[in-house]
Structure 1
Amino acid sequence: MILSFLLFLPYQSSSRTTCQQLCQLSGYTTGTCRLLFCNPGEIDIGQDNCFRGFVCCCSGTTTSTSTSSTTSTSTTTTSTTTTLPTGPTHLPTGPTQLGGNETSFVSSLPIVNFTAWLGANDLILNVGQKAEVKIYVLNNGTSVDSYTIEKTGGDLQTTSPENLKEVYPQDVKSTSILVWTTKVGTSNAQFRVCSEEEPSICKVLSLTANSYMLKSLPEIDSLLLIVLIVSSIIIFKVVE
């Protein structure tokens, strides 16, 4: 009877790490040293923390320790600065739909384009005869432009063409030159028309002239001429 009582008698050692502390470290709330074995429902974790013949019994709700860690994510944003060229910049004109009811208007690059032609491409001339030929330019671009005209080659004689100034879009202007030949046969001339707005845009025109010499009356023999005069006088006298 006394032995049964001692089996359930709690005993706590104080000379080392207590059974209570060991049980708490193991996640239990209560630790008790009991003789030989633990009560039902208790957990026997050994004799190390109790005197010889006693065991450490743990009970109570197991506590769980949760550790929450917060991870901080750092986002690095790299900004790039682009340096744009300075000075006047031509941008396209006209309405640009941005979205919704918003419309943006910007200025545009002028379009440089033109058509050039001669009033005549082929001529028939007498040697030394002068003829007038016109050079026409139609501005097909989107801005006012001027045009330089020069003779670039050929043996056909011409006057120097005048440049055309301030030709408005879709307008036609012309200038006149005189052409002539100094020899019998075929002569030609080439002309170059260039935009002053964009000098690299040019047109080349060609003119051809065929020339001839007027034939003089056949020379009359002087003796035949005398005979004719004498004959005329005789006939006149007979008629009288």
Structure 2
Amino acid sequence: MEAALIGSVLSALATGLGAVPILFWSHVTHRFRDILLALTAGIMVAASTFSLIPQALALSNLYVLTIGISLGTITLMLLEKFVPHVDLDHSKIFKGIDSKAALIIAAITLHNLPEGLSVGVSYASHNTGLGGLIAFAIGLQNAPEGLLVALFLIHQKMNKFKAFLIATLTGAVEIITSMLGFLLTSYVENLVPYGLSFAAGAMLFIVYKELIPESHGDGHARSATLSFITGLLIMIYLTEIFS
């Protein structure tokens, strides 16, 4: 329980860590952002395919895995449909519209909920190293998102510290769903493989739907591809060491 709480807090607050640079400057290059997003995508793909999916299969079978991944994918699809994940860096229609800014913040917050669930479920599994690995992967995914949210708010003429605080809070909601996922799967043993599969489906959806397209949107596809492979190898290396 304590490890799950610490891991979920650190993973969630990585959103705020990613926003720290805006306290010192309010601009980052597209190249840096794309490299960071692609690195995160590689880490999340490796976490899903080399950690979550094998662990789910070890505890169940292909049918359970298919159901869990499908549920994770469908959940994220529904969130995309009803609460669109706005591309903060490219969107022009929200500049100077406070109500829309609030809508964007709410949308990002809702999108963070399944990510927190992934961390909690991973800590509830029998693999003691899995929770830390998934918390690490989700934390890295949160960092560039926190940076983009904070930059967007600064462009809305918001105070830097306030923008940093709000960006941090959008990730903090993950702590709630993380603990919910941990408690639920801890007390209902048969839910663990479903939860692991759900987490894998949600993470893969985020990678293919958001991280990879965004990392290739500004003409830095080659750098992003190399960064993706680097992230993949880093996570495989960590999996081999800690699993």
Q: TM-score range by the shorter chain?
A: under 0.3
Higher-Rg structure is: 1
Greater share of residues in strand: 1
